[in-house]
Structure 1
Amino acid sequence: MRLTLAAVSAAALAPASAFAVDYMSAEQAAKLMFPDADRFESRDVVLDATQMQKLAAQGVQARSAKWTIKVAHHGTTVLGTVVVDDVVGKFELITYAVGLAADGTVKQVEILSYRESHGQEIRLPAWRRQFVGKTVASPIQVGEDIANISGATLSCKHVTDGIKRIVSIVDLARRSGALG
């Protein structure tokens, strides 16, 4: 009887992350975004204080000075970049990947892991397609050029803010020559 009571207690105390679903790995997402790539090269981009201030002036919080960016290659041609990031939905982390074409435009967004009990609608292709073609000059803001999903408001906002951050950081890295 004690074991049963312990099992019931553990189930009652289980965190919301019991709803966690891993949809694909970062490697699978990169290959999906750049199927013609014959290799992916990881590059660490470290933002200096001036770059961090520039981002902040644009309303973008870098969150970290160091970012790992995967550069997709086909032979000697750079096809684009992939950045994997985590943001907090309401309580739990959402892991997503952003693929950017060589010119810095958003090519594709994939949700890799979703751990919240509600709001999985951000995985819907129609919602993720809103980001395709966006650039550093785009607002990339819920309510502006990105639609909100009722019941997934925080997930929508935080993933959108994260994508804006990635687009901005990759743009800085491209302009500084850090991506080749």
Structure 2
Amino acid sequence: MRFWVTAAAMASASPAAFAVDYLSADQAAQLIFPEADHWDSSTLALDAAQLQALDAAGAKGRSARWELRTARKAGALLGWVLLDNVVGKYELISYAVGLDREGAIRGVEILSYRESHGSEIRLPAWRKQFVGKNASAPLRVGSDIANISGATLSCSHVTDGIRRIVQAVDVARRAQPAWAR
């Protein structure tokens, strides 16, 4: 009888039972910019006009704020790491995107994955597809980003989130905020 109760409890467990935290935000930032010797934390916040520009760029803003870390070496700007979350199929996927000072993607790291399937997006080969792409790249699964069978929603949603971040930084940099200098 005890076996059946345990089996029933396990069968009814939510997909969140598969949650794995891989990296902290600081660890991801260090992986993306290992040469950085100083980090500033701030927030990228878009105003209404910038959100409209983001929408016009095809990256519908679902948030106007992102946690931002600015990487520097000997006082010189290297780039930024932005943190975000998207919903996979049911649960949140937390990730970090590193951009160089020209706005090109330097790296993508998966911080936490909570879904029961699709964690293959953590594979270096899939994440490496983003490196070097900027706001002019389509950043679309099936176009310039390959899909992973069994991880279609994770691939699509993370790619959409990365496109949104790249476009948001591109739009925000035009206003010459302090974090962009």
- Fold equivalence (TM over 0.5): yes
The 5 A counterparts of 1:1-180 are 10-178=9-177, 179-180=180-181
2:45 partner letter: V
Deviation for aligned residue 1:72: 0.4
RMSD of aligned alpha carbons? 1.6
Give the Å deviation of 1:45: 2.2
Which amino acid is 1:44 matched to? T
Taking structure 2 as the reference length, the TM-score comes to 0.92
Unaligned runs of 5+ in 2: none
| 2:170 maps to amino acid | D
Q: Distance in 2 between the 1:41 and 1:10 partners?
A: 45
- C-alpha distance in structure 1 between counterparts of 2:55 and 2:117, whole Å: 31
2:80 corresponds to which letter in structure 1? T
Counterpart Cα distance in 1 of 2:172 and 2:49: 13
Q: Distance in 1 between matches of 2:12 and 2:143?
A: 39
In 2: Cα distance, 1:66 partner to 1:152 partner:
27
CA displacement at 1:8 relative to structure 2: 5.5
Q: Deviations over 1:125-177 (max 9, x none)?
A: 11111000000000000111001111100000000000000101111222211
Measure, in 1, the Cα distance between the counterparts of 2:6 and 2:170: 51
3-state DSSP class of the match of 1:103?
Answer: coil
- Using the alignment, how far apart are the partners of 1:127 and 1:67 within structure 2? 23
Measured in 2, the distance between the counterparts of 1:173 and 1:28 equals 25
Displacement of 1:11 in angstroms is 3.2
8 A Cα contact 2:104 2:131, kept in partner: yes
Question: Which moved further from structure 2: 11-20 or 143-152?
Answer: 11-20
SS in 2 for 1:126: helix
C-alpha contact 2:39 2:71 (8 A) present in aligned 1: yes
Q: Give the superposition deviation at 1:10.
A: 4.1
CA contact under 8 A between 2:66 and 2:83: conserved in structure 1?
Answer: no
What amino acid is the match of 2:14?
A: P
Structure 1 gap ranges (5+): none
TM-score, length of structure 1 as denominator length: 0.93
Deviations 1:18-43, CA, capped at 9 Å, x for gaps: 11111111100001111111121112
Q: Which amino acid is the alignment partner of residue 45 of structure 1?
A: L
Using the TM superposition, name which of 9-18 and 79-88 deviates more.
9-18
AA matched with 1:22: D
- Structure 1 stretch displaced more, 39-48 or 133-142: 39-48
The number of aligned residues is 179
Deviations for 1:74-104, whole angstroms, at most 9, x for unmatched residues? 1210111001111011111111111111111
Letter in 2 for 1:59: G
